[in-house]
Structures are given as C-alpha cells and as structure tokens.
C-alpha cells in the first residue's frame, strides 16, 4: 500500500467523521459541511494527482453534475417518510427510490446520447 493511498483514505475518513461529529452538535453546521462538494473535490484532486489528466477531471465533473439530480430524491423523500415510518424503513425506501432514480436517469441519458 502506498503512502498516497493511505493519505486518501485518511483524509476521506476524516471528512465523514467531521460531518458526523458536527451533526451531533448542530444540524446546520453538519449539513453545511455535508452539502459541500468535498467528496467531489477530493476525487478531482486524487484523480488529477494520479493521472495528471485535466480532461479526465472534466469528464468526472460532468458526470457528477448529471448524477447529483437523482441523489436529491433521497433528501426529498427521507424527511417525508420519517413522518410516518420508522427510521430504518424510511431509509431503506428512500435508498431504493434513489437507486431507481439513478437507473432511470442513466437510461434517459443513454437514450439521449449522453455518455457518463
């Protein structure tokens, strides 16, 4: 295992822990940190450092842009489901619905000639 891989894992894990810990103290600050495109930024940096290819970063960025849309299903549906169902059932239904939205968007984009 290379030092670069260890740094990638450590930095990424640190971000997840930071969101979780902030969320315990303040939903606003936890949500703010979670809503930042930190995962994408880290992925852009790691990809560029690994390949030196800005075009690969641009392609990844464009694909992320398209795939942000179906991810919104989770954030719209989960709070609604939690009003009447248990946490685990709500989370499962929201995740299944989000997966269906991803599949539908990828299918629609494929039919429209958009390559991800």
Structure token digits, residue 8: 């990638």
pTM: 0.71
pLDDT in tens, 3-62: 878 887 888 888 889 888 988 998 888 888 888 888 888 889 989 999 999 999 999 999
């Amino acid at each position: 295992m290379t030092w670069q891989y260890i740094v990638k894992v450590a930095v990424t894990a640190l971000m997840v822990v930071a969101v979780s810990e902030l969320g315990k103290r303040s939903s606003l600050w936890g949500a703010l940190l979670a809503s930042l495109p930190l995962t994408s930024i880290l992925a852009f940096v790691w990809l560029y450092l690994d390949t030196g290819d800005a075009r690969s970063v641009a392609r990844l960025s464009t694909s992320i842009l398209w795939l942000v849309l179906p991810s919104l299903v989770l954030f719209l549906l989960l709070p609604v489901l939690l009003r009447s169902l248990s946490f685990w059932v709500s989370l499962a239904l929201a995740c299944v619905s989000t997966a269906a939205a991803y599949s539908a968007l990828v299918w629609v984009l494929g039919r429209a000639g958009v390559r991800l």
